[in-house]
Amino acid sequence: MTSDQDRERQIVDLEVGKNEEQGASEDQETVGGQVNDLEKLKEQMVQCEAEAKKYHQLYLRTLADMENMRKRAIRDRKEYLKYASLPLVKPLLTVIDDLERAIKMARETEDLDTLAQGVAMIAKNLKEVINKEGVEPIECLGRPFDPQYHEPLTVEASEEHPENTIIEEMQKGYTMKGRLIRPSLVKVSK
């Protein structure tokens, strides 16, 4: 029995030895695997840091672009507002030239009829200029009083006109593209 026991012990020892060797190699593989995983994680961390830096730089660049765009828009708006009246002013220069010629001719000839005709032509040209900009006079004479478009200066009793009718226009009112820019100053009947 001893020899059988010895043999069994040898077999057990061999199996235990094999198992220990396998365990040691598995431990080495596990440690080696953990080292490989750690190296991979370090590489990923370096890549993530580089990517985060890249995106941070992109963010800062975009932020600077937006600030520049905002400043440019403010500057462009100021420039636009500065010269917004230019399309109206250019045609008015012609009217001013006409007025100056009329004054010069009036001084030279002292002909009031010609001066009156010249001023009437200039007034017509000026009305055409403002009409092109959408400015229209408010027609009110003989119409009912409307506080939205008319401002009464006086009220006068009248048997010829119905009550609240405009009987005289003292200053012409104007609208621009349908919006009131100046009410008519009127005399109203009562």
- Identify whether residues 60 and 8 lie together within a single domain: yes
User: Residue 13 burial by CB count (10 A; 0-12/13-18/19+): exposed, middle or buried?
Assistant: exposed
- Identify whether residues 48 and 33 lie together within a single domain: yes
- Identify whether residues 73 and 89 lie together within a single domain: no
Q: CATH number, domain at 139?
A: 2.30.22.10
Neighbours of 88 (CB within 10 A): 13
Q: Which domain holds residue 31?
A: 1-82
Full pLDDT tens readout for the chain, 190 residues: 556 777 677 666 666 555 555 554 555 555 556 778 889 999 999 999 999 999 999 999 999 999 999 999 999 999 999 888 888 888 888 888 888 888 888 888 877 888 888 889 889 999 998 898 899 999 988 899 999 999 999 898 888 888 888 999 999 999 999 899 999 999 998 8
Distance CA 20, CA 26 (A): 10
- Identify whether residues 69 and 10 lie together within a single domain: yes
- Identify whether residues 121 and 180 lie together within a single domain: no
Residue 176, SS3? Answer: strand
Distance CA 170, CA 155 (A): 13
- Identify whether residues 78 and 1 lie together within a single domain: yes
- Please name which of 124, 125, 106 lies closest in space to residue 115, comparing C-alpha atoms: 106
- Identify whether residues 76 and 1 lie together within a single domain: yes
State the DSSP string of 10-73: HHHHHHHHHHHHHHHHHHHHHHHHHHHHHHHHHHHHHHHHHHHHHHHHHHHHHHHHHHHHHHHH
